[in-house]
Amino acid sequence: SIELFDRNALMLCASKVASTTGDLRTVFDVCRQSMELATDSPAKANVSVTQMMEVFTISTQNTNSSDH
């Protein structure tokens, strides 16, 4: 079987989304964006915690810049 996501990356995603919106659609969106990062990286075949954090960082920056 092929694991697309590191278990810790999924746990991170679940806890971060649960502590903010709690919206399952947000989980799917973050996972999709993380998969895009993973496929751009030749070294990793699955989504890592680092890639998941990168998506959260980007989305936080986008949210903060749209507030101004």
Q: Would you state the pLDDT for residue 19?
A: 95
Does any domain span residue 21? yes
Domains in the chain, number? 1
Reported as type and span, the H/E element at residue 8 is helix 7-19
Does any domain span residue 1? no
Q: Is 4 strand, coil or helix? A: coil
Q: Would you state the pLDDT for residue 27?
A: 94
Does any domain span residue 44? yes
Angle at CA 28, nearest 5°, toward 20 and 31? 95
Give the mean pLDDT of the chain.
87
Does any domain span residue 61? yes
Q: What is the pTM of this model?
A: 0.79
Whole domain around residue 11: which residue ranges? 7-67
Q: Would you state the pLDDT for residue 2?
A: 75
Does any domain span residue 2? no
